[in-house]
Chain A
Amino acid sequence: MRYLLPLGVFIVVAGFLFYGLNLNPREVPSPLVGKPAPSFQLARLDAPAEKFTPQEMAGKVWLLNVWASWCVSCRAEHPVLVELAKQQIVPVVGLNYKDQPDDAKKWLQHFGDPYLLSISDIEGRVGIDFGVYGVPETFVIDQKGIIRYKHIGPVTADSLKEKILPLVERLARG
């Protein structure tokens, strides 16, 4: 009887700690989910004279993928995006975050370009508006320009199959 209380406390604490082991502290829920994507105007990577705004994607469900040539995890993620582009399920816009356009172009030439287009956020200001803190990040944006989901870290075949694509499909059905 006298050991029951400490044992109970131990079990509760151990339970919390065990649960905590499986949490990812890097995944901070974004306050932007459910809100309109921040508006911006940035130069296209392939044609800096042309500007892109998210309004151009109105009426479509699309992904905004934040990437950079200096980002190691982006390289791990890249084949998944290339594969996705082949299937032509959903357009992906690349936000080239805090990168040198020359490096970025070389990177795409080397590894393949899965993007509908990429835009250059050289100073990272649009990144701040989107609350980007760990590249790569991927946003699912619906027809009305509302952010529906934010994926932090590299997109994997699993996360695509289990989370992102089902959501895209559901949104596309309206």
Chain B
Amino acid sequence: MKTLLVLLMLCISAMAMANTAQPSAEEVRLGKIAAELRCLVCQNQSIADSHADLAVDLRREIGEQIAAGRSDRQIIDYMVDRYGEFVLYRPPFKITTLLLWLGPALLLIVGVFALRRNLKTRRALVIDAPLDDEERRRAAALLATPEERDAS
């Protein structure tokens, strides 16, 4: 029974392997461009991931434009012309997106400064109180393991 099952599984995996033909260069390009573009119907998915009708149409459009010899840049611009910069998952770097790009770094810098200030004030709060000999001896006695105590 077990051997049969293993054989069956091998057959299935062999069939699966046979089906995964190497994607062509055009398909790879299509996938790459589609992954850069937001599907406006389901906004948290790229055109590559989405099964929405519009995404299917736009993938077809990208495929046709690749076949027509247009560059990636031209195809992306084509989409931006129609749907606006919102379709780009990688927003362009310009005045209106400055905060978007630099915001995280800004927050990090502010955070580091806040942390440094906080640590400094905390260090100032610690009162340096060295132990005298008697206290040191008592502390050692308290911290000693039973074996050490027996030895002494």
Tell me the A residues contacting B by CB distance below 8 Å: 25-26, 28-32, 98, 123-125, 127-134
Contacts of B81 in A (CB 8 A): 31
Q: Bound state CA distance, A128 and B84, in angstroms?
A: 12
Q: Check if B75 is an interface residue, CB within 8 A of chain A.
A: no
Once A30-B84, A31-B82, A32-B82 are accepted as A-B contacts, the answer to whether A133 and B40 lie under 8 Å apart by CB is yes
B146 to chain A, nearest CB (A): 47
Once A25-B43, A128-B58, A133-B40 are accepted as A-B contacts, the answer to whether A98 and B53 lie under 8 Å apart by CB is yes
Name B57's closest neighbour in chain A (CB-CB): A124
The answer to whether A28 and B86 have CB atoms under 8 Å apart is yes
Q: Bound state CA distance, A125 and B82, in angstroms?
A: 12
Q: Bound state CA distance, A8 and B89, in angstroms?
A: 32
The answer to whether A130 and B82 have CB atoms under 8 Å apart is yes
Contacts of A134 in B (CB 8 A): 40-41
The answer to whether A131 and B86 have CB atoms under 8 Å apart is no
Contacts of A25 in B (CB 8 A): 43
Contacts of A127 in B (CB 8 A): 57
Name A30's closest neighbour in chain B (CB-CB): B84
B56 to chain A, nearest CB (A): 10
Q: Check if B80 is an interface residue, CB within 8 A of chain A.
A: yes
Residue of B40, B53, B82 with highest tally of chain A CB at under 10 A: B82
Known: A125-B61, A128-B82, A133-B40. 6 other contacts (CB 8 A): A25-B43, A29-B86, A31-B83, A98-B57, A131-B83, A134-B40
Count, chain B residues at interface, CB 8 A: 15
Tell me the B residues contacting A by CB distance below 8 Å: 40-41, 43, 53-54, 57-58, 61, 80-86
The answer to whether A128 and B61 have CB atoms under 8 Å apart is yes
The answer to whether A28 and B41 have CB atoms under 8 Å apart is no
The answer to whether A133 and B41 have CB atoms under 8 Å apart is yes
Contacts of A132 in B (CB 8 A): 54
Question: Contact partner of B83 among A123, A125, A133, CB < 8 A?
Answer: A133
Please provide the 6 A-B residue pairs with the shortest distance between their CB atoms, ordered closest to farther: A133-B40, A131-B82, A31-B84, A28-B86, A131-B83, A124-B57
Name B38's closest neighbour in chain A (CB-CB): A28
Contacts of B86 in A (CB 8 A): 28-29
The answer to whether A131 and B84 have CB atoms under 8 Å apart is yes
Contacts of B84 in A (CB 8 A): 28-31, 131
B32 to chain A, nearest CB (A): 20
Residue of A127, A129, A132, A133 with highest tally of chain B CB at under 10 A: A133
Q: Bound state CA distance, A131 and B61, in angstroms?
A: 13
Name B85's closest neighbour in chain A (CB-CB): A31
Name B83's closest neighbour in chain A (CB-CB): A131
Contacts of B40 in A (CB 8 A): 28, 133-134
Contacts of A30 in B (CB 8 A): 83-84
27 A-B contacts (beta carbon < 8 Å): A26-B43, A28-B83, A28-B86, A29-B84, A29-B86, A30-B83, A30-B84, A31-B81, A31-B82, A31-B83, A32-B82, A98-B53, A124-B53, A124-B54, A125-B57, A128-B57, A128-B58, A128-B61, A128-B82, A131-B83, A131-B84, A132-B54, A133-B41, A133-B54, A133-B83, A134-B40, A134-B41
